[in-house]
Structure 1
Amino acid sequence: MTGIPSITLNSGHSIPTLGYGTGTAWFKKGDENVVDRECVEAIKTAIRLGYTHLDGAEVYKTETELGLAIKESGVDRSKLFITTKVNNNIKDIPGAIRASLKKLQLDYVDLYLIHSPFFATSDTDHQTAWREMEAVHKAGLAKSIGVSNYLPAHLSAILQTCTITPANNQIEFHPYLQHPGLLEFHKEHGIATSAYGPLTAVTKGAPGPVDGVLEGLAAKYGVSGAEVCLRWCVDQGVVAITTSGKEQRLKDYLRISSFKLTPEEIKQISDEGAKKHYRGFWTNKFDKDDRS
């Protein structure tokens, strides 16, 4: 993707810092076997526009659509970075990834994640699951392995016994949920951070204290507040995963390659964002005021 930087994971593989997600807007509530052609076409549009990082998950029920879009796009597999996640079939990770790969029509994924830590009732549960993730990696089914929605306590359990450190933790991250302690933990252990819900400050979390800052920076750089939010992530070395079914909006998001926030501007957004707390996902698992 021209102008969109990549970062190198601890596995040695590079991950583009802007990704197209196939959850949220495309999350399938009905029969998984019924193909959503609108979703397929939206993913193909994203690929055509230059999105090479595509993010899926077992629980989204859109792996079949993602696989069809990849195949129909005609883009060489080696040019794409594909992520998927295990959730429902966490008790059989090797079986889960093989089922996902069949739906994706792929031989491997670039990144395979445990979707959440909430299946576990003990450190041993985390460690057992992670051993299966390591086996999947060693079998060549996933080039990199990681987690999602994990907190330091969950990561610490894995780090006690792992032979492969998680490459990535995908978390809800935006100006109103900044996780300073968690991000510091990631840096200490060489774990990359990916953000889902990076536009929350201008969508679910609006109105709020960052509105004026985002408006001013959007005017300065000739972009939208959403694009400023994406750049705020990328300029901190955080991978941003977003989505849309609208081609123009996807084109606009690519404009984040045209500008870079100054350290002062990043801090300004962060400082204003810290004045409000908002969590848009997994609200049934965290207390209302929990900033973990």
Structure 2
Amino acid sequence: MHSIASYFKPDASGADPKQASFIPSLKLNDGHDIPMLAYGLGTKASKTKTTKSDDIINPTVAAIKAGYFHLDGAESYGNEEELGAAIKKSGVARERLFVTTKTSCREGVTIEEAFSASLAKLKLDYVDLYLIHSPFWAKSPQDLQRAWAEMEAIKESGRAKSIGVSNYLQEHLETTLQTARVPPAVNQIEYHPYLQHGDLVDFCRKNEIAVEAYAPLTAVTKATGGPVEPIYQVLARKYGVSEGEIALRWCLDQGIIAITTSSNELRLQTYMRNIPAFKLTPKEVDDIAKAGQGKHFRGFWGAQFSDDDRR
């Protein structure tokens, strides 16, 4: 086992967390802490006409009780009411939780209106992190800048402790930073060995914007059979963990926050137990990254990109 005795809190610079007996938190550029492993109520847990609320609430309660105090939701998932109900049902004190939701920037709806509606559905007085879900709705750079000014007003009100973005490329971040009084604290992106986004992660680090990975298990789930698979298998045997745990640890060991959407209670408990118990070496992290360059796979927002666009 690659063990490092000392422990310090990583930050948005990309510093990797040292090995500890718990999931570490990362220090954001505004001074707030964010747990580096999150439970996501993403597309798998989205509310549809046939979805029973308990099928969303109960797995979320189980995740919270397993120690997932970082909960990632969004307006577009249609399950903010269920997330709020799960928080209440869990019995865990609000101040122990880190709650994220996102705005879709729907036409004709101000971000303030969307945010107020989200808080009402969540039945919360504040969220820990509020994100613009994507930049692709914007028709001009000025649209992105106006939206960010609305986000800054929400942060100033105290109802969102931190604000950030999701699915932003470097060009969108540059546009936002041109007029921002408060820089984004987070950029949440699809991130795994087969989608490393070129220079985007380095750009975020240079600007102290924390990177948060959704779909980090893609090479184990949706894109199996690629060049990373044999490396995952070897490392899983070496550390006595699953390939999924290798995939999550790969993110953490780059100073990247990781989101899992598993609804399997036993798997969630195992992640929380096993992931703090080992750490990849720098060479193993690099080997996975280099192997991942041999395949390209994008699971989300594909309509916005050409097939060979790796940004």
Q: Is 1:280 matched up with 2:303? A: no
Aligned to 2:140: 122
2:190/2:215 contact within 8 Å kept: yes
280, 284, 291: which one aligns with 1:261: 280
- CA distances 1:161-180 after superposition (whole Å, capped 9, x unpaired): 11000000000000100123
**Within-5 A mapping of 1:172-187:** 172-187=190-205
TM-score (norm 2): 0.91
Q: Secondary structure at the match of 1:202?
A: coil
**How far did 1:89 drift?**
3.5
Aligned residue among 124, 139, 164 for 1:106: 124
What residue ranges of structure 1 are gaps of 5+ in the alignment?
Answer: none
For the aligned residues, what is the CA RMSD? 1.3
Aligned with 2:70 (options 44, 53, 57):
53
Letter in structure 2 aligned against 1:66? L
Once the 2 structures are TM-superposed, how far is the Cα of residue 35 of structure 1 from its aligned partner? 5.5
- 1:166 aligned partner: 184
Greater helix content: 1
Distance 2:255 2:300 in 1: 22
Give, in whole Å, the separation in 2 of the partners of 1:108 and 1:277: 38
- Deviation of 1:246 after TM superposition, in Å, equals 1.0
Tell me the number of residue pairs that the alignment of Structure 1 and Structure 2 aligns.
290
Residue of structure 1 equivalent to 2:102: 85
Are the equivalent residues in 2 in contact too, given 1:59–1:88 (CA < 8 A)? Answer: no
1:12 maps to which residue? 31
In structure 2, how many angstroms separate the alpha carbons of the residues matched to 1:22 and 1:118? 21
CA contact (8 A) 2:145 2:180 kept: yes
Correspondence list, 1:214-225, <5 A: 214-225=232-243
In the alignment, is residue 3 of structure 1 matched against residue 22 of structure 2? yes
- Structure with bigger RCO (C-alpha 8 Å, 6+ apart): 2
Where does residue 76 of structure 1 map in the other structure?
93
- Percent identical pairs in the alignment equals 55
TM-score (norm 1): 0.97
Verify the 8 A CA contact 1:108 1:142 in the aligned structure 2. Answer: yes
Q: 8 Å contact 1:112–1:144 — kept in the other structure? A: yes
What is the distance in 1 between the residues matched to 2:49 and 2:110?
24
> How many angstroms does 1:29 deviate by?
2.9
State the Cα distance separating 1:28 from its structure 2 match.
1.9
Select the residue among 179, 183, 206 that pairs with 1:188. Answer: 206
State the shift of 1:63 in Å: 0.4
The amino acid that maps onto 1:21 is G
Aligned partners of 1:97 and 1:141 also within 8 Å: no
CA distance in 2, matches of 1:139, 1:21: 26
Q: Which residue of 2 aligns with 1:142?
A: 160
| CA spacing shift, 1:35–1:95, aligned 2, 3 Å | farther
* Match 1:271 to one of 290, 295, 299: 290
Q: Deviations over 1:190-221 (max 9, x none)?
A: 10000000000001111100111000000011
- Rounded to whole Å, the distance in 2 between the matches of 1:192 and 1:246 is 28
Deviations 1:126-159 (A, max 9, x none): 0000000000000111000000000011111111
What letter is aligned with 1:6?
S
